[in-house]
Structure 1
Amino acid sequence: MSTLLGRLGGAAAARPWRTVAAWVLLIGAIFGLAQAFGGEPRDNYRVPGTRSTAGMDLLNARFPDSSGTSARVVVHDRGGRALPAGALAGLREQLAGLPHALSVTGPIPSRAGDTALLTVGYDVKVTDFKGSAGLDALRAAARSTTDAGYQVEFGGELPENFSAPNGTAEAIGMVAALVILVLALGTVIAAGLPLLVALAGLGAGTGLITLLSAVTDISGIAPTVASMVGLGVGIDYALLLVSRHVEGLRRGLDARAAAAEANATAGSSVVVAGATVLVSLFGLKLAGLSVYASFGYATFATVGAVMAAALTLVPALAALAGPRLLRRAERRAPAAPAAPAAAGGAGARPGPTRTERWARLVGRRPVAAAVLSLAVLLGLAAPMLGMRTWPQDAGSQASGNTTRKAYDLIAGAYGPGANGPLLLAVDLRKLPESELPALEGRMAADPGVAAVQPARFNAARDAAVISVQPTTGPQDRATAKLLQRLRGGGLPTGVEATGTVAAFSDISDRLSQRLWVVVPFVVALSLILLTVLFRAPVIAVKAAAMNLLSVAAAYGVMTAVFQHDASAGLLGLPHAVPVSSWVPILMFTVLFGLSMDYEVFLLSRVREDWLATGDARGSVVRGLSSTGRVISSAAAIMVAVFTGFAIDPDITVKMIGVGMAAAVLVDATVVRMVLVPATMTLLGHRNWWLPGWLDRLLPELRVEPGEAPAPAPQPVPA
C-alpha cells in the first residue's frame, strides 16, 4: 500500500496543474449532475414494527383525507385582549387558499380569548415541500394578521421539519482552524493548504449527498453532520501529509520526492484512519431507522471525498508551493544534504522537544500516569449514568424560533399537553362502536389526562380516532408513564396509541435497544482492522478499550451540559433538555472512527521505530515525540470545528458538536498523550505479541515503506 501511495503522491507532484484541473473538473461535474438530477434532503422517521407505526398505518388507511402533513397557526394578542372574530375569519380564509391545503380546523380560542389555534391539514406529506416553501406560504397567508398588530407563530409537523441553512458554524470552525494551522506550520501558505484541500473534498462530498438524496431519504441535518465530520477529518488528513512533506523538505528532498515520501508514510495512516471511520459508519445501518442510515450515507460520501482530496491534492499543491511551505528562516538557511528519514520521522534536533520531555516523563512513571488518566476518564464519564434520551421537538429549540414561540403560546393557553396529544386509533371492526363512551370515560378518569376529545369517525364508520391530551408536556417523564399505562392494559383490543409522542417514545426505545447491537459491531470491525494492520492483537484490544473510554467521557460531558439549566443556558437553550435519542448511536459510530485516527497516527510511528530498532519502550517515547505536535494540532483543529457547530440553532447538531469536541479533546490529551504511552510502556514487548496460528492467518500488509519483519522479541523479565 505504501508503494502505491508513494507513486500516487509522486505522480501528482510531478503534474500538479493537471491534478488541480482534474479536481476542478470533477467538482464541476458532480455539481452539474447534482443540479440536474439531485434531490432534496427529507426525514423519514417511520419505524416498522412499532405500535405507534401500526396505529398510524390504520389512520392513514381509514382516514385518507388526513394522511398528509399538518401545520399549526397560533394567533395571540400581546395586550391580553380578546381576538376579534373578523380577523380570525380572514386568516382562516387565507389559510384555506394555500397550495395543497385540504382543511382548516378552528379557530379554537383559549379560555382568556387572547389566543387562538388553527390547524391546517394538507393533502401531501411534509417531504413534498422543498426548502422553506411551506413555511413561507404560511407566513404570506398570515401577513395581514401580523400587519394588524397580532403575534402569529407557526408550529406542527411542517414548520418543525424545516431547518434554515446556517453557515456560521462552518465559518467559525475554518477561521479557528486557520489560526491553529499557522501556529503549527509557521507559514500562511502551509496553513492555507489543508483548508483548501478540505474545502475541495467537502465540495465534492456535498454534491454527492445531493445526488444520494435523489435515490434515497437523506435526513435534513445529515448534510450538516457530514460537513462537520468531513471538515474536521479533511483538515487533519491534509495537516498530517503537509507536516510529513515539510519534514522531507527540511532534509533536502525536492518537492516530488518529499510528496512521494509523505504519501508513502503519512498517506498510509490517512488511508487506514479514513477506512476505520468509513467502517464505523456501517454501524448506523444497524440502528433500524432509515433516517440513521442516511447519516451514514452522507458522512461516508463526504469522508471518502476528503480522503481522496488529501491523497492527491496535497502532493500537487505542495509541489506548487515548493519551498514556501518552509518558514522564512529555513528558506534562507543553506540546504542540508538529503538524508533518509530517521526512525522517528524527524530530522536531528539540538535538544529534546517539549513533547519528547513529556513522553520521557510518562515513560518514567507509567503506573501513576495510567491510574491518574483512568480516574479522569471515569470521572468525566460518570454523569452518563443519569442520561435521559428523547427525540428533540419544538420545546427544545431556541426561544427565538417561531416553532418554539408557538410551543410556548400553546402550552400557556391550552396546557402543556396540548403540544403532544396522544391519538387513539380505533379499529371498529375489532371493537364495537358502543364501547367507545366507556373507553373515553376511562381515559378521562386517568390522573395524567387533562382532556379527551370525542371520537371522530371516518366516512365508512369502520374506524375512529380519539385525541387524549396529557396534563404534562411531550418531554415530561409523566407523559411517557401515561403512555406506558395505556399500553400496559388500559387499551382494549383494536385500539392503539399513536401520534408524535407515541412515535417518539417508540423511537427512543428502539434506539436504546439497537445501541447494544451497534456497539459490538463497530468494535469488532475495528478490532479486526487494527489486528490486520499492526499484526498485534494486544494493541487492537487496548485501542478499542481506550476508544470506549473516550466515547463514555463524551457522553458524560454531554449529559452534564445539556441536562442542567445553567450549562444549557450558556448554549442558548431556555432550560435543561434530555439528550436527543439520535445522538448516542451517531456519536459512537463517528467518534470510534475518529478516535482510531489518532491511534493509527501514533501507532504507525511507534511501530515504524519498533521495526527499525526492536526497542519496545524507546519506540513509544520516540513515536510520541514525533507525532505529539501533529496530533495536538490536529485535535485542536477538530475541537475548534466541532465547537463552532455548538452554536448551530438545531439542537441535535448542537449536541453533536459539544459531544464530539469534548471527545476529541479528551482523546488527544488524556488518552493519546498519557494513557496510551503509559500502558504501552508497561506492556513493553507484549504490545507486539502475535501467536503463531494468527500470524499464519493474517495477510501481510505493508504500511510503512521498507518495512521489515519484526525483530525477535527480547526475553521479558518475570
Structure 2
Amino acid sequence: MATFLYKLGRFAFRRRNYVALVWVALLALAGVGAASASTPTSSSFSIPGTEAQKAFDLLEERFPGASADGATARVVFKAPDGEKMTDAGHKAEVGKIVDELSGGSGQVGSVTDPYTANAVSKDGSTAYVQVSYKVTSMELTDATRTALEETGAEARAQGLTVEVGGDALQATPETGSTEIIGVAVAAVVLVITFGSLIAAGLPLVTALIGVGVGVSTITALAGVLDLGSTTSILAMMIGLAVGIDYALFIVSRYRAELAEGREREEAAGRAVGTAGSAVVFAGLTVVIALVGLAVVNIPMLTKMGFAAAGTVVIAVLIALTLIPAALGFVGKRVHGRKDRKAMDTKAAGGEETAKPNMGTRWARFVLRRPVAVLVTAVLGLGAIAIPAASLELGLGDDGSQPPSTSQRKAYDLLSDGFGPGFNGPLMVVVDGKANDNAKAAATELSDTVKKLDGVAVVTPSTLNKAGDTATITVIPEDRPSSVKTEDLVHSIRDTGGEIKADNGAQVLVTGSTAMNIDFSQKMNDALLPYLALVVGLAFLLLMLVFRSVLVPLKAALGFLLSVVAALGAVVAVFQWGWLGGLLGVEQTGPVMSMMPIFMVGVVFGLAMDYEVFLVTRMREAYVHGERPGEAIVTGFRHGARVVSAAAVIMIAVFAGFIGSSESMIKMIGFGLAIAVFFDAFVVRMAIVPAVLALLGKKAWWLPRWLDRALPNVDVEGEALRHRLGDDASGGPDGGPGADRELVRV
C-alpha cells in the first residue's frame, strides 16, 4: 500500500493543477445539486421488527388516511382562576381562533372545535384546539408558522393563558456561533503547531472543501433517500473533524521529510506513502464503525451512519490527493521562517541542536513509572464512568423542552388539565381479520384493560369500514416516560396474548410511548452485537497494521474504558444537570435512546485514529532495531505533538456543536468532545505507553503461523524503503519485518 500511495502522492504533486480542478468541479457540482434540491424534511421514523411498528403499519393498511404524515399542533387554553373555558366569553374567543386557523393558510388540513370534540377538561379549566397540516413541519412556510405562534394574542388580552405545542413549531436545527468558534480554535491550534499560516490554512481549507462536497451531496440526495435535517449536521461534525486531522498528519510528515533534505516532490510522495497509509487505515476504522450502525436495523440511524461514513471517505481522498497537490502550490512556505532558517543552516553543514520535546519528556516519565500512571488513569476514568450506571434512555417530546418554551408550557397545561398520561396515549389495535371477531375481541380487551393498574381512561373501540380491525385508546395515569407507564404497556401486551389464545385475535400496542419503549429496547438489544461486530473487524484490521495480538486488544479495551467514562459524563450533565447551566442545558431528562450506540460507533473509529497514528510511529522505530522502550520514546517524540493538536482540534470542532438548538446534536457534540478528550489524553497518551512499557517485546508478539497467514500491508513503509534504497533492516530478534518478502497491498 505504501508504494501505491507514494506514487499517488507524487502524481498529485506533479499534476496539482488538474487535481485541484477536479475537486473544485466536484464541489461546484455538489453545490448546484444542493441548491436545486428541495428543502430537507424530517426523515420518516420506523423501527422494523417491533410490535409498535407492526401496529402502525397495520393502522395504515386498515385505516387509510387515519395516520397522516403532516405536522400537528395543539393550541391550549387555560381560564383564569375561578372561571371556566365553558363561559360564554371564553367560548367566543376560542371560536374566533378556530375560524382564524381554519381560513388562515392553505397548508392547514383540519382544525377541531374543543366544544364539539370533547377537548375540555372535566373541571372546565383547560381546553385545546387540534390543528392538522397537509405538510410536514419542515415544509411549513414562515407565514404559517408565524400565524400559529401569534395565535391567541386577543385571548391573552382577555385573561386567558394560551400556549402552543406540537411538532408544527419544530424548525431546522441551528448550530449557532459556537461552531464557528470551534473552527477558529482549530485554526489557532494549527498555527501554534506549524508556526506557519500557510501550513495551518491547508488542513482547514481542504477539510472545508471535503465537508462542502459531502454535505452538499447529502442535501442534494435528502429528498430521494429520505434523509433527515440532522443527517447533514452530523456528517458535517464528523467530516470536519477527521478532515482537519487527516490533513494535519500528511502535512506534518511532509514537513519532516523536507527537514531531512528531500526534494519537494519526493517529500510529498513519502508523506502520502507513510502517513497516508495510517490515514487510510484510520479512516477505514471510522467507516467500519459508522457503516456498522446498519446492524441495529433502524433506517434513520443507518442513513446517518452511511452519510457520515461518506464524508469520512471524502476526507481520506482529500488527504491523499488534494493535500499533496496543495503542497505543490505553497512551496517552502509550508515551513515558518524559523524552520526555514534552521533547514538552511543544516543544508549548509551547520550544527543542529535537538532538544527533547514535551512528548519525549512525557514518554520517559511514563517509562519510569508505568504502574502508577496506569493505575491513576484507570481509576480516574472509572470514577467518571460511575454515573453511567444510572443511564436512562428515552425519546424527546415537548416534555423535554426547556420550561421557558411555549411547547413545554402547553405540555404542562395538558398534563394538569387532563392528567399526566394525556400527552402519551397508547393506541391498542385489535386485528380480528383471521376469525372475523374484531368487535368481540375489542370489547373483551377493553373490559380487561380498565381493571389494570395505571389506567386512567379507556375509550370505546372504533371499527374500520371492513369491520375486521378495531382501535382502543388508553390514557395512562402517569407521565409517558415513567416506569409505571412502561409496565402498563407490557401488561396490555400480556393481556393481548391471553385474548389471542382464547379467540385468535391479535392485539398490538403502538403510539409514541410504545414506540419509545420499543426503540429503547431495540437499542439495548443491538448494543452488544454491534460492539462485537465493530470491535471484531477493527481488531482484525489493527492486527494487520501492527502485526500484533496484544496491541489491538489493548486498543479495544482502552476504547471501552473511554466511551463508558464519556457516557458517565453525559449522564451527569444531561440527566443529572451537573454543569448544565454552563453548557446551555435548560432541561434535564433521559438520554436520547440512540445516543449510546451512535457515540460508540463514532468514538471507536476516532479512537482508533490516534492509536494508528501514535503506535505506528512506535512500530516503525521497533522494526528498525530500537528497543521497546526506545520505540515508545521515538513514537512520542514524532507523534505526540501532532496527535495532541489533532485531538484539541477535534474536541474544539465537536464542542462547537454544543450550541445547537437541537438537543440531540447538543448531546452528541458534548459526548464526542469529552470522549475524544478521555481517549486521546488519558488512554492513548497515558494508558497506552504504560501498558506497552510493561509488556516490552511481548507487545509486538504475533504467532508465526498467523504472521505467515496475514498479508503485510506495510503501513510503516518498509517495502517503500526497500524500493527507494533506504535502510530496510529487519526487526530485532528476527521479529516483524525480518528477512521476509513484504506483500504489497
TM over 0.5, shorter chain: yes
Match of 2:138 in 1: 131
- 1:393-427, Cα deviation, whole Å (9 max, x unpaired): 22223345543343233223333212111112233
More divergent stretch after superposition (375-384 vs 201-210): 375-384
The change in CA–CA distance for 1:129 and 1:490 in structure 2 (over 3 A counts) is closer
Match of 2:725 in 1: none
Match of 1:27 in 2: 27
Match of 1:156 in 2: 166
Alignment equivalent of 1:414, drawn from 412, 418, 425: 418
In the alignment, structure 1 residue 404 sits paired with structure 2 residue 414: no
For normalisation by structure 1, the TM-score amounts to 0.91
More divergent stretch after superposition (316-325 vs 227-236): 316-325
More divergent stretch after superposition (454-463 vs 433-442): 433-442
SS in structure 2 at match of 1:64: coil
- 8 Å CA contact 1:172, 1:644 repeated in 2: yes
The change in CA–CA distance for 1:561 and 1:521 in structure 2 (over 3 A counts) is same
More divergent stretch after superposition (407-416 vs 602-611): 407-416
Match of 1:433 in 2: 439
Match of 1:690 in 2: 702
Match of 2:373 in 1: 369
Alignment equivalent of 2:273, drawn from 230, 247, 264: 264
In the alignment, structure 1 residue 711 sits paired with structure 2 residue 744: no
Offset of residue 223 of structure 1: 1.5
Match of 1:480 in 2: 486
The change in CA–CA distance for 1:632 and 1:440 in structure 2 (over 3 A counts) is same
Alignment equivalent of 1:116, drawn from 113, 127, 130: 127
Match of 2:212 in 1: 203
SS in structure 2 at match of 1:87: helix
Alignment equivalent of 1:389, drawn from 377, 387, 393: 393
Match of 2:656 in 1: 644
SS in structure 1 at match of 2:480: coil
- 8 Å CA contact 1:178, 1:192 repeated in 2: yes
Alignment equivalent of 2:384, drawn from 380, 383, 407: 380
Offset of residue 585 of structure 1: 1.1
Return 5+ residue gaps in structure 1 as ranges. 340-346
- 1:362-388, Cα deviation, whole Å (9 max, x unpaired): 111222222222222222222222212
More divergent stretch after superposition (356-365 vs 381-390): 381-390
SS in structure 2 at match of 1:176: helix
- 8 Å CA contact 2:198, 2:334 repeated in 1: yes
The residue type paired with residue 597 of structure 1 is D
Match of 2:743 in 1: none
For normalisation by structure 2, the TM-score amounts to 0.88
Offset of residue 673 of structure 1: 1.2
CA distance in 2, matches of 1:544, 1:489: 44
Alignment equivalent of 2:644, drawn from 612, 627, 632: 632
- 8 Å CA contact 1:134, 1:159 repeated in 2: no
More divergent stretch after superposition (304-313 vs 657-666): 304-313
The change in CA–CA distance for 1:218 and 1:653 in structure 2 (over 3 A counts) is same
The residue type paired with residue 596 of structure 2 is P
SS in structure 1 at match of 2:659: coil
1:68-107 mapped onto 2 (5 Å cutoff): 68-69=68-69, 70-76=71-77, 84-97=90-103, 98-99=105-106, 101-107=108-114
- 8 Å CA contact 2:77, 2:128 repeated in 1: no
1:449-460 mapped onto 2 (5 Å cutoff): 449-460=455-466
The change in CA–CA distance for 1:164 and 1:115 in structure 2 (over 3 A counts) is farther
The residue type paired with residue 56 of structure 2 is M
Offset of residue 143 of structure 1: 4.3
Alignment equivalent of 1:241, drawn from 245, 250, 261: 250
Offset of residue 290 of structure 1: 0.6
CA distance in 2, matches of 1:572, 1:31: 33
CA distance in 2, matches of 1:438, 1:136: 48
CA distance in 2, matches of 1:357, 1:164: 45
The change in CA–CA distance for 1:142 and 1:357 in structure 2 (over 3 A counts) is closer
CA distance in 1, matches of 2:380, 2:281: 29
CA distance in 1, matches of 2:425, 2:347: 74
- 8 Å CA contact 2:149, 2:164 repeated in 1: no
Match of 1:327 in 2: 336
SS in structure 2 at match of 1:218: coil
Match of 2:724 in 1: none
SS in structure 2 at match of 1:109: coil
The change in CA–CA distance for 1:702 and 1:480 in structure 2 (over 3 A counts) is same
The change in CA–CA distance for 1:578 and 1:365 in structure 2 (over 3 A counts) is same
- 8 Å CA contact 1:624, 1:677 repeated in 2: no
Percentage of matched positions with identical amino acids: 38
CA distance in 1, matches of 2:298, 2:667: 20
- 8 Å CA contact 2:486, 2:517 repeated in 1: yes
More divergent stretch after superposition (388-397 vs 109-118): 109-118
- 1:536-569, Cα deviation, whole Å (9 max, x unpaired): 1222222122122222221222122222134444
Offset of residue 68 of structure 1: 0.7
The residue type paired with residue 24 of structure 2 is V
In the alignment, structure 1 residue 550 sits paired with structure 2 residue 562: yes
The change in CA–CA distance for 1:709 and 1:133 in structure 2 (over 3 A counts) is farther
- 8 Å CA contact 2:657, 2:665 repeated in 1: yes
- 8 Å CA contact 1:685, 1:713 repeated in 2: no
Match of 2:723 in 1: none
The residue type paired with residue 374 of structure 2 is A
Match of 1:343 in 2: none
- 8 Å CA contact 2:175, 2:659 repeated in 1: no
CA distance in 1, matches of 2:342, 2:438: 94
Offset of residue 157 of structure 1: 4.7
CA distance in 2, matches of 1:279, 1:490: 41
Offset of residue 357 of structure 1: 1.0
- 8 Å CA contact 2:78, 2:413 repeated in 1: no
SS in structure 1 at match of 2:189: helix
The change in CA–CA distance for 1:151 and 1:348 in structure 2 (over 3 A counts) is farther
The change in CA–CA distance for 1:188 and 1:111 in structure 2 (over 3 A counts) is farther
The change in CA–CA distance for 1:325 and 1:115 in structure 2 (over 3 A counts) is farther
CA distance in 2, matches of 1:21, 1:327: 27
SS in structure 2 at match of 1:257: helix
- 8 Å CA contact 1:197, 1:313 repeated in 2: yes
1:456-605 mapped onto 2 (5 Å cutoff): 456-489=462-495, 492-493=499-500, 494=505, 495-605=507-617
CA distance in 2, matches of 1:224, 1:168: 14
CA distance in 1, matches of 2:709, 2:406: 60
Aligned residues: 703
More divergent stretch after superposition (297-306 vs 559-568): 559-568
SS in structure 1 at match of 2:355: coil
- 8 Å CA contact 1:399, 1:405 repeated in 2: yes
- 8 Å CA contact 2:174, 2:662 repeated in 1: no
CA distance in 2, matches of 1:252, 1:596: 32
- 1:190-210, Cα deviation, whole Å (9 max, x unpaired): 222211111000001112213
CA distance in 2, matches of 1:415, 1:348: 78
1:657-696 mapped onto 2 (5 Å cutoff): 657-696=669-708
The change in CA–CA distance for 1:408 and 1:323 in structure 2 (over 3 A counts) is farther
The change in CA–CA distance for 1:152 and 1:220 in structure 2 (over 3 A counts) is farther
The change in CA–CA distance for 1:35 and 1:633 in structure 2 (over 3 A counts) is same
